[in-house]
Amino acid sequence: MKILVIGSGGREHALVWAISRGSSDRQIYAHPGNAGILDIARQAEMGGGSVSEIADFAVRSKIDLVVIGPEQPLVDGLTDVLQSRGIAVFGPSAAAARLEGSKVFAKEFMLRHGIPTAYSVTVDDAETAFSAIAKGEFGYPIVVKAEGLAAGKGVIIAGDATEARQAVTDLMVDRKLGTAGARLMIEECLVGRELSYLVFSDGRDYSPMPVAQDHKRAFDGDKGPNTGGMGAFSTPGLLDETLEREIQRRIVEPSLAGAVADGFPFRGVLYCGLMLTAGGPMVLEYNVRFGDPETQAILRRMESDFGELAFSVARGELGKTRPVWSSQTSTCVVLASSGYPGTYQTGKVITGLPEAGHLPQIVVFHAGTKRSVEGQVMTSGGRVLGVTALADDLEVASRQAYQAVNLIDFDGKQYRNDIGHS
């Protein structure tokens, strides 16, 4: 079987790694990949990687399955084009991808199908946004969200009116996130424990994954700006059975049924970003793909063949293949470039990767990396590596992950010291 994985981050390295652990007769291709991915997979030569170039490569190379990691190709309709050319795809259609591509669309979908979520208003210009803030109906803190895709950086929690107005100015006036901030949602700030709940869905059946908890803030103690994620852990017991069933009944099942009712049966990974409030679980946002770094933590616990599962989802046969998960705990600590999520430098030499990778139960997933002409692994992004450990409990998994972290170095290495502890 020939499998093509689209993407270049830590999530995609985890996907390639998981696929490679299955049947030995697989040929894995990747585009664009990174230094770690391309140690496992073949580089898919296809130019810039537009939707048409990816489809042409898949047909020309007789690819059996395409696994799409990032959200942008899904929103751009890559799944639809590939399927029209007879290729199986792990990832939702463009219509279903709107659940992530537009926060306004997602909010309207939730309200239409009775899915619990925060109260919000949508604004189309800065003047209306400033007026909504001035009314003071939300209280503080208040959440300002860019409508479009923003790589995990489009949500700002403002502590007072001054910060809220600055968020509007940054997003809507100065366009610091480009067109993603052309429309905004101003939303009440939910209080509780944040949790990522992910399920596989083939449009009919669904299968839950182990629960993971992400750490979004840049600094220890959940301080600093939001990022794409500075670490995650997945451990048994994050949810009791009663609460998990409530999440499935009130959120997952209505979401999947709503997608069918609205004409876009969901096939792929539905990621429900939740806040466990005093009034019950509520949806903060949907993603239509694996999270990053949740994927690294979750797939470390998968004992069955992910490639087989992905192919079953793509064919609408999830009911025939149920994943098997380890009862152990995983912790992923992200190493980032100094300055992330703001301005940062790249091209720094990374040392200590072999030493860290040889530690028991450690897998180092590459995110923002590339190889120099001389073969050295260099930094090439904000989030650089995801150091992931598997152990019998959370304390041990976190300790082992940080042991590996201490063996890896590059100029400006930045990371949180409390992943799995806060």
User: What is the predicted pLDDT for the residue at 78?
Assistant: 98
Please count the other Cβ atoms lying within 10 Å of the Cβ belonging to residue 421: 14
Q: What is the pLDDT along the chain (422 residues), one digit of tens a residue?
A: 999 999 999 999 999 999 999 877 899 999 999 999 999 999 999 988 899 999 999 999 999 999 999 999 999 999 999 999 999 999 999 999 999 999 999 999 999 999 999 999 999 999 998 998 988 888 899 999 998 888 767 888 999 999 999 999 999 898 988 988 889 999 999 999 888 899 999 999 999 999 998 898 999 999 998 898 999 999 998 889 999 999 999 999 999 999 999 999 999 999 999 999 999 999 999 999 999 999 999 999 999 999 999 999 999 999 988 899 999 999 999 999 999 999 999 999 999 999 999 999 999 999 999 999 999 999 999 999 999 999 999 999 999 999 999 999 999 999 999 998 85
User: What is the predicted pLDDT for the residue at 180?
Assistant: 85
User: What is the predicted pLDDT for the residue at 308?
Assistant: 96
Token digits of residue 267: 């096939």
Cα–Cα nearest to 232, from 98, 375, 420: 420
User: What is the predicted pLDDT for the residue at 322?
Assistant: 86
Q: Taking the domain 193-320, which CATH number applies?
A: 3.30.470.20
Burial class (CB in 10 A: 0-12, 13-18, 19+), 4: buried
Q: How far apart are CA 105 and CA 97, in angstroms?
A: 10
According to DSSP, the residues that pair with 202 across neighbouring strands are: 267
- Is CATH 3.40.50.2300 what the domain over 119-188 is classified as, yes or no? no
Q: pTM score, two decimals?
A: 0.92
Token digits of residue 31: 């585009």
Q: How far apart are CA 78 and CA 84, in angstroms?
A: 10
At position 392, the amino acid (one-letter code) is: D
Work out the angle at residue 269's Cα, subtended by the Cα atoms of residues 263 and 274, and round it to the nearest 5 degrees: 95
Question: Concatenated DSSP letters for 366-382?
Answer: ESSEEE-TTS-EEE-SS
User: What is the predicted pLDDT for the residue at 422?
Assistant: 54
CATH architecture of the domain with residue range 329-405: Alpha-Beta Complex (3.90)
> What are the φ and ψ backbone dihedral angles of 390, each rounded to 5 degrees?
-125, 130
Cα–Cα nearest to 143, from 171, 101, 124, 102: 171
Fold: same for 2-93 and 193-320: no
Class of domain 2-93: alpha beta
Domain boundaries, the chain: 2-93, 119-188, 193-320, 329-405
Cis peptide bond upstream of 208, omega within 30: no
Query: Are the CB atoms for 287 and 100 separated by under 8 Å?
Result: yes
Q: How far apart are CA 297 and CA 299, in angstroms?
A: 6
User: What is the predicted pLDDT for the residue at 194?
Assistant: 85
